[in-house]
Structure 1
Amino acid sequence: MQSKNLTEVTEFIFLRFSRFHEHQVTLFVVFLILYTLTLAGNAIIVTIIHTDPQFHMPMYFFLSMLASSETMYTLVTIPRMLSGLIAQSQPISLAGCATQMFFFLTLAINNCFLLTAMGYNHSVAICNPLRYTLIMSKRVCVQLTCGVLGIGLAMAAVQVTSIFTLPFCHRVVGHFFCDILPVMKLSCVDTTINEIINFVVSLAVIPVTMGLVFISYVLIISTILKIASVEGRKKAFVTYASHLTMVIVRYGCPSIAYLKPKSENSVEQDLLLSVTYTIITPLLNPAVYSLRNKEVKDALHRAVGRNIYPLTLFIKSKDRLWDREGRPEQESG
């Protein structure tokens, strides 16, 4: 009987937000708006950074990498989730589920280590400004980015392989995408080893990278306190406090989701946490890291102005042409 069940499980069905069935349309509209804002914000950031020469420096290089990674991160989960809110029954094959999990984990780990690289970049810029361009050369930035992506790929491969070598007896995933813990629950064998692997990888990613980021910000704050100008200290604190807030949000929700005891798992809590770090956090990233940045806002205004000014000239020229052609007709009438 068990082997029969094993051979029958060739696809999964997502439970999604079925407990909020009466609010499916509302959820779809809200999530679609948030997703559109996320895509637009990240697209603006990447476009401005790559087209404006003043942003061709390490800090903005990492910002563009984070924005690109966040965009792909949301593409892995949100479009399918949105379509599922409209069409209730959308099964996913085991291969499709494994693929989604692999890219989700790769990009999630990549984002964590990118934030670490950004924290290191900030600390070098503040604590060692005279050697900043030497330490954070273009080559070093590219090497850090490639190393971060390599770590994400390797860790995701380990986790996905450990999960999808399990036999599955159940088809319904109590989630809106193929995350580790909800899929692991569908196995009909003991998953202790898999839980240990997940815990070790999560421990290596979340507390370690978060600790490195906080070390960077301790160095930054200690240097800021030495600034003689009160206005300079205030400006620096406002800038890096917002960054640090974003880091806490980014690491806080995954920490609760992946490091909490198994006995404390609940479907509602897991869904809420997942919505936070898959939908809300990617939207906050462009707002906190870039769109609050004065240089980025100035560049955005310049870009908008360049597009609006020719249109204004065109409208004015058409108005003048209309006056020249229309006035004689009015006078003759």
Structure 2
Amino acid sequence: MEPQNLTGVSEFLLLGLSEDPEWQPLLFGLFLSMYLISAAGNLLIILAVTSDSHLHTPMYFFLSNLSLADIGFISTTVPKMVVNIQTQSKSITYAGCLTQMSFFYLFGILDSLLLAVMAYDQFVAICHPLLYIVIMNPHLCGLLVLLSFFISLLDSQLHRSMVSQLTFCTDVEIPHFFCDPPQLFNLACSDTSISILLYCMGAIFAGVPISGIIFSYTRIALSLLRVSSSGGKYKAFSTCGSHLSVICLFYGTGLRVYLSSTVSSSPRKGAVASVMYAVVTPMLNPFIYSLRNRDIKRALQRTLSRKV
């Protein structure tokens, strides 16, 4: 359903990270390079998992879906920013702004839920290895991914519906490189008490996956404490290392941005900090998983050698 524009505002202005003309070529090259690296890296992960039968396991099935979500996540914001810099335009339509915001939440929450699902997969593999194949069957894996997608879709549509009820006056300049809901609330000239509900929704949709991750890794740690073999502990920690690195990078930067935005009076600093979890994290994920994972590297070598 198309959002109802209650104010007659036809477009917003995305001010980006800097309004200095001298910085624009550098920002254009930097963000275009990061986008291409992120898209290529995540596509290689998907290609390796789908083309190599050795990687047709639940862990790599979830990883390929995480890579797909990362491509969508970074594609929501960076292409529009790059196009605006190239065309020397800052405008984004009202409908385009709400669409960008809804896709940003869709892929952001999907990333979060998939990380929680992968933590559960690690928990079953380490704490219940004999039942792993029975528990993590293809039906359950597909169901977990579909459930994650529908929960993310519900959250994104709720955000879109609530923000579309706001009215805007003459100030339509957003000091950010994408349509971030907190910035839209600052521009609204109507009652913004609904923002409390949105923050509560955000706490729920982010808190549940975080709680699941903490629970899974607490059980994993307790299980490893009972393992007498140092080799077994090292193997388990190396298996979880990549996933924990991605979790710390994604949640650490994301929570820092949104917690600091509540106490900081500089929206531009928040925009710069948002680059870390909205752009840098999707770009680094493929490298974190491929550099620390021999199976991925071997699958990529076999896949690329067949192509050559």
Displacement of 1:254 = 2.1
Contact 2:126/2:236 (<8 A) preserved: no
C-alpha displacement at 1:154, in angstroms?
0.8
Q: CA deviation at 1:182?
A: 1.3
**Alignment partner, residue 293 of structure 2:** 293
Structure that is richer in helix per residue = 1
Q: In the TM superposition, what whole-angstrom CA distance separates every residue of 1:48-67 from its partner, at most 9, and x where no partner exists?
A: 11111111111111001000
What is the DSSP-based 3-state SS (H/G/I as helix, E as strand, rest coil) of the residue aligned with 2:76? helix
Residue of structure 1 equivalent to 2:181: 180
RMSD between aligned alpha carbons?
Answer: 1.8
From the CA coordinates, give the structure whose radius of gyration is larger: 1
Give the whole-Å Cα distance in 2 for the aligned partners of 1:30 and 1:93.
25
Q: Secondary structure at the match of 2:13?
A: strand
| Residues in 1 aligned to 2:20 and 2:225: alpha-carbon distance in whole angstroms | 50
For 1:294, give the aligned amino acid: R
- Equivalences for residues 228-243 of structure 1 within 5 A: 228-243=228-243
Residue ranges of structure 2 left out of the alignment (5+ in a row): 1-5
Inter-partner Cα distance in structure 1 for 2:98 and 2:141: 31
| Secondary structure in structure 2 of the residue aligned to 1:255 | helix
User: What corresponds to 1:109 in structure 2?
Assistant: 109
- In the TM superposition, what is the alpha-carbon distance from 1:260 to its structure 2 partner? 4.8
Match of 2:167 in 1: 167
Contact 1:202 1:258 in 2 (8 A): no
The answer to whether the 8 Å contact 2:175/2:268 transfers is no
1:295 is displaced (CA, Å) by: 0.5
Gaps spanning 5+ residues in structure 1: where?
1-5, 309-333
Secondary structure class of the residue paired with 1:13? strand
In the alignment, the residues of structure 2 paired with residue 265 and residue 36 of structure 1 have an alpha-carbon distance, to the nearest angstrom, of 33
Structure-1 residue corresponding to 2:63: 63
Please list the CA deviations of residues 129-158 of structure 1 after superposition, one character each: whole Å capped at 9, or x if unmatched: 111111111110111111111111111111
Q: Distance in 2 between matches of 1:20 and 1:207?
A: 38
Deviations 1:86-120, CA, capped at 9 Å, x for gaps: 22224221111111111111110111011000000
Query: Partner amino acid for 1:196?
Result: I
Measure the CA separation in 2 of the matches of 1:181 and 1:216.
32
After superposition, the Cα gap between the structure-2 partners of 1:158 and 1:260, relative to the gap in structure 1 and judged at 3 Å, is: farther
Structure 1 residues 271-280 or 59-68, which shifts more? 271-280
Does the CA contact (< 8 Å) of 1:101 and 1:178 recur in 2? yes
State the AA in 2 paired with 1:252: G
| TM-score normalised per structure 1 | 0.86
- Cα deviation for residue 41 of structure 1 reads 0.8
> What is the deviation of 1:291?
4.1
Which amino acid letter does the alignment assign opposite residue 191 of structure 2?
D
SS in 2 for 1:167: coil
Please show how residues 95-244 of structure 1 align to structure 2 within 5 Å.
95-169=95-169, 170-193=171-194, 195-244=195-244
How many residues of Structure 1 are paired with residues of Structure 2 in the alignment? Answer: 302
Higher relative contact order (CA 8 A, sep 6+): 2
Per-residue deviation, 1:186: 1.4
8 Å CA contact retained: 2:14, 2:91: yes
Q: Structure 1 155/265 Cα, relative in aligned 2: closer, same or farther at 3 Å? A: farther
Deviations along 1:236-284, one digit per CA (max 9) or x if unpaired, are 2233233213212211222233345634242232112211111100012
**1:163 & 1:99 partners in 2: Cα distance?**
11
Moved more, 257-266 or 105-114: 257-266
Query: What is the letter of the counterpart of residue 25 of structure 2?
Result: V
Question: CA offsets, 1:178-212, max 9 Å, x none?
Answer: 1111122111123122x212211111122321121
Going from structure 1 to structure 2, the CA distance change for 1:269 and 1:207 (only over 3 Å counts) comes to farther
Q: Specify the alignment match of 2:3 in structure 1.
A: none
CA distance in 2, matches of 1:100, 1:20: 25
C-alpha contact (below 8 Å) 1:123/1:216 kept by paired residues: yes
Provide the secondary structure at the position in 2 that maps to 1:264. coil
Contact 1:206 1:251 in 2 (8 A): no
In 1: Cα distance, 2:54 partner to 2:173 partner: 51
Alpha-carbon distance between aligned partners in 2 of 1:262 and 1:53, rounded to the nearest angstrom: 47
8 A contact 1:110–1:148 mirrored in 2: yes
CA distance in 2: counterparts of 1:106 and 1:255, whole angstroms: 17
How many Å separate the matches in 1 of 2:275 and 2:212?
26
**Which SS does the other structure have where 2:12 is aligned?**
strand
Kept in 2, the 8 Å contact 1:110–1:149? The answer is yes
Offset at residue 292 of structure 1 (A)? 2.2
